[in-house]
Structure 1
Amino acid sequence: MLNRLLPFALLSALALPGHAGLFDDDEARKQISEIRNQHENRLNEQQRRIDQIDSRSGQKLVEVLGQMGELNQQIAQLRGQLEVITFNLQNLQKRQQDLYVDLDGRLRAIEEGVPSGGNPLSHARSAQSEAEAATAYEAAYGLYREGKLKPAMAALNEVSSKYAGTQAAPNALFWLGMAHARLGDGKGALVSFRKLVDGYRDHAKAPDALRAMGSLQLDMGDRKTAAKTFKELVTSYPGTEAAKEAEKELKKL
């Protein structure tokens, strides 16, 4: 009997390590699967966080770009307001100076016993014309600032022709030229700028008008005429910012 059981015992003993090996392999595969799942979960979580960060970054970028656009619009509006304020101040200073000169002349005439020259009615009409021109110019420039270029051009052209002898006229001609340029009408812009320079050579915008003319001529491929315009600017208005820019352009030509 013992001899019969011995082979079975030996077979059982030999079989045990095999079962243990199979168990170890299953456990190993299970642990590897768990580790892989954990790793994939971590990767998915990290990707989700990255996507969230990218989404927030994109939203932030859009917000920043929007804020920059609003700031640019505000800057443009402020520049426009500054332009109007500067014009009004210049107009007011001129009127004050004219009144002072007129009053001083009248007082001198009274002191010297000489009838005072000048016509009070004429002075009153001149002051009224300046005031009307200033109001019309502000309305026209407001259209330009709002981007309503065609209505602005019509209004600015009317100011420059109807109030040709006022302080508003050269300002209107300058922005009329700018409106033409923005609409792609280079020739029309050149005409307006030239009217300003020829008719109001002492005006503060005359150098800027020549600078704009030279730039337009360059854009139109007319380098020879542009060089002539820049030389005119440097000669006629030395030391101005526009003349300094013209000198830089001449070096490139």
Structure 2
Amino acid sequence: MSDDLDPGAASRLSEPDLRALSAFVDDELTAAEHQALGARLTINRRAANRVACYRTQRAALRVLFADPAAQTSRSYVVLRTRTSWWHRMALAVSAFAAGAALAGLAGLAGLAGVISTPVTPLSAQMAFARQADLAYVVYAPERRHPVEVTAARKGALVDWLSKRLNRPLSAPSLREYGYALLGGRLLPGIAGPAAQFMYENGAGARLALYMSPASQREVAIQLLREGDRRTFSWANDHMSYALSGQMAEGQLREIAVDVCSESGGHPEKWR
């Protein structure tokens, strides 16, 4: 895979890169290749945007060429163009240190941060929320590989991620809201490793809780809106958390309040 999938690369995606991204969407990669490329997508918005386009095209083709006899109702396809994420990220990226630690992933070249500028707690937290949103975009649609370690091994999963983040972690229960834990994975964060726990309800909708150590002791809740996605982020006890999903803001905020409380935070301070 060429250097364009490195977050520091400036050139356009090459033909080998595009073929690799297409194979990722079509589940044509080996498990190791899929995991390695998925990790890179969480820090490369150009490549992640391309994957999102491929998924939209695939869904549209399935509808257009479906067997009419098998359809019980009419299907409609709406394709929308969106402003490139990396354009909207330009100001935010210039304000924080960007980097990744992926040395342990098979087949990946080393990646390093390229910007280092003092930031405010709020701008750093918003950058963290955008990273969480991108991780949600990459893994929430996955049917075969939504998590790296399943909920069947919850104890091992939590112990492993706690060790990698060097902080005691827990996967909060969201069963009260109809969401069960699918599992989780280790991801690159802005300044070190991050963890993601994925949840799913009976209708197949998914929520993701993303977390990483933070320099700030506490940051009040913030809301990030991206299309039909919402991410509530906050920090407490030098840990940043972000809850991402596609649901009404009020409902997602309610869940975020409970998650914050369960993790030892103080949501009663939120205004």
* TM-score, scaled to structure 1: 0.25
Structure in which a larger fraction of residues adopt strand = 2
* TM-score, scaled to structure 2: 0.24
Structure in which a larger fraction of residues adopt helix = 1
Bigger RCO of structures 1 and 2 (CA < 8 A, at least 6 apart)? 2
